[in-house]
A and B are shown apart, each in its own frame.
Chain A
């Protein structure tokens, strides 16, 4: 089996702390937007501004939609409007058959990962004012389209299940005693526990496309347990075997596309690299 040697350059990223770079970037963008937005000065004339959406349409059952096409929607733009807001407006005003998943509107349910102007993003978290117009909205690439912007998530869920995504220890609390966990250890797993299962990372990954590679989200889930000091050493051993198997961490080619698109700023590539190192260390133990 060919293996890629972990790229030591990436280690320098390991120490970036609580306010990671993507968040900084977003903040800077917001600031800029507010300063330069025409709305911030006057709201009069610009109320008439409309944003053009080019939305992917497909329905296997409906005449005229069996061949994928793009529909144009012209939505009145208001300050602070997100891609999700615009889609809801288009559906409720122009075409009630326009179909997309969404629920919480606040980047926690992970339902509305979409391919927006060529990048995986959450519709609810993406301000229209941050995008080039017209805005092109497509379903996540590399997943089968069910209808319009809805993709089949089954493969994603199967990969999550494949890493035994649960605490394996069987102990029942004895009275009101919790297991102790160092603040440092909690900090170590913190970013990995932020995952909202949106599937953006998986969709952005060339290696995950079409194959059986576990993918960044599932490996990140494994990382969350491997690094948690509360879980037993034998269990950690089992987990390392899973992530080291053929479809595991060694498939990653450190392209950072997953890290780039993660809406929760999880350093996914970094976590994968760290698990590679853990696996190597673990194997050396048996020499």
Chain B
């Protein structure tokens, strides 16, 4: 399984229009977060990461819950860049193949799943080690919601909401069907 990103430009998250968004997974402004950055991938969306001891479980082993965050962020952002809708996580399931090491580099690749119908979208993700070996798999279902509907759940000022709404609605950079658009946004409903 390839973890190669494409040469396409890295997608910008719509949150980038906000000065101080704090998403634990993908914000560069949250000192406690993972600050994930995403790359276009031939099969969907990818992020390469290296987690330090702040995210440790057993000594030298990354806490499995954080790997759920990584998978969820990558799948959720993929859905949003493809749909322009906010994606709330409905359910997620992980299979841990082997322990993930603190300080080592891994790549998470997300792909859209089979159409779930209605407002639901499914996705899968794999976390791969530097040799391309699978260490975690994930599958999840998301409920897609227009920003206007999600607005009441999201704490933003009116000007911020306007900017974010516009960012979500802005057409993506010209892309092949396998290349994500330029904007992404995800949050877990029940996290």
Q: Do A and B bind each other?
A: no
